[in-house]
């Protein structure tokens, strides 16, 4: 089964797999977000994060490879009466336009292999405007002990050294690790080990 087929199957349920509300870490970054500007939500799935960002007045592009997820995302945007640009594409080989977005958000997109992850993260860095804000959250290796969601392979999980190696040149870089009970739909529930990052792309 391909990764797309696997996610199409997961998203085929009537409910929203990860709920309809924004990810808690993203919501906690509200004070960092600009009042306006272009935002890219990477692997945005059923749209909970993209729709929330659009509700704040941001111009949002929601990128995902699953047509089933994007159909549900469009319905969510309609219910919230917000405009979101939905783009169907693979986050690993999408043509990330350079210096385009004021904000790039990546929340729990950990189905990438290490090689794919480098392609994705380089694209995210490239498409951020200098001074643009990056927000990332993912599971850490401790999540394998909890088994409450996320990938089952160690290589797919995020660590502080991994994030620092890729984004260490960003300014005002903040990385926090925590273990907490998450309640984000059927897909994320129970004690979870997570890591979050915020930072700004440096000027050339």
Rounded Cα distance between 161 and 63, Å, is 27
Percent of the chain having pLDDT more than 70? 98
pLDDT tens, position by position, 3-16: 888 888 888 888 98
- Average pLDDT of the segment spanning 108-114: 92
Lowest mean pLDDT among 109-113, 135-139, 199-203: 109-113
Looking at the domain that runs over 3-200, which CATH code has it been given? 3.40.50.150
Q: How far is CA 122 from CA 57, 78, 88, in A?
A: 27, 32, 19
Sole residue written with tokens 């640009």: 85
Q: Which helix (H) or strand (E) holds 186?
A: none
pTM comes to 0.94
The yes-or-no verdict on residue 33 having pLDDT over 70 is yes
Please report, for the chain, the start and end positions of each structural domain, with discontinuous segments joined by +: 3-200
Q: What is the pLDDT of residue 126?
A: 98
pLDDT tens, position by position, 38-86: 999 999 999 999 999 999 999 999 999 999 999 999 999 999 999 999 9
Q: Are 76 and 17 spatial neighbours (Cβ–Cβ below 8 Å)?
A: no
Rounded Cα distance between 106 and 121, Å, is 9
**Cα torsion through 100, 132, 93, 195, rounded to 10:** -160
Q: What is the pLDDT of residue 13?
A: 85
Q: What is the pLDDT of residue 187?
A: 65
Q: Which residues pair with 63 in a beta bridge?
A: 42, 87
What's the residue count for the chain? 204
Q: Are 156 and 113 spatial neighbours (Cβ–Cβ below 8 Å)?
A: yes
Q: Which residues touch 126 (CB under 8 Å, ≥6 apart)?
A: 96, 98, 99
pLDDT tens, position by position, 82-100: 999 999 999 999 999 999 9
Q: Are 16 and 48 spatial neighbours (Cβ–Cβ below 8 Å)?
A: yes
- Average pLDDT of the segment spanning 143-168: 94
Helix ranges (H only) for the chain are 3-11, 24-28, 48-55, 67-79, 114-127, 143-146, 160-167
Backbone angles phi, psi at 67, to 5 degrees: -65, -35
Sole residue written with tokens 């783009």: 87
């Amino acid at each position: 089964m391909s990764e797309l087929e696997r996610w199409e199957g997961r998203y085929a349920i009537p409910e929203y797999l990860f709920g309809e509300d924004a990810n808690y870490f993203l919501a906690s970054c509200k004070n960092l977000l600009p009042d306006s500007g272009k935002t890219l939500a990477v692997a945005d799935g059923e749209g909970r994060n993209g729709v929330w960002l659009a509700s704040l007045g941001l111009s949002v592009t929601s990128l995902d490879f699953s047509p089933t997820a994007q159909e549900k995302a469009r319905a969510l945007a309609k219910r919230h009466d917000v405009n979101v640009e939905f783009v169907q594409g693979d986050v690993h080989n999408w043509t990330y336009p350079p210096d385009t977005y004021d904000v790039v958000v990546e929340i729990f997109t950990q189905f990438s292999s290490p090689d794919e992850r480098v392609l994705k993260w380089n694209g995210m860095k490239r498409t951020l405007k200098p001074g643009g804000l990056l927000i990332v959250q993912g599971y850490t290796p401790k999540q394998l002990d909890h088994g409450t969601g996320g990938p089952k392979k160690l290589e797919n999980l995020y660590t502080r050294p991994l994030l620092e190696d890729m984004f260490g040149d960003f300014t005002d870089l903040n990385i926090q690790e925590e273990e907490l009970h998450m309640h984000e739909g059927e897909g994320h529930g129970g004690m979870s080990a997570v890591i979050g990052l915020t930072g700004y792309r440096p000027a050339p």
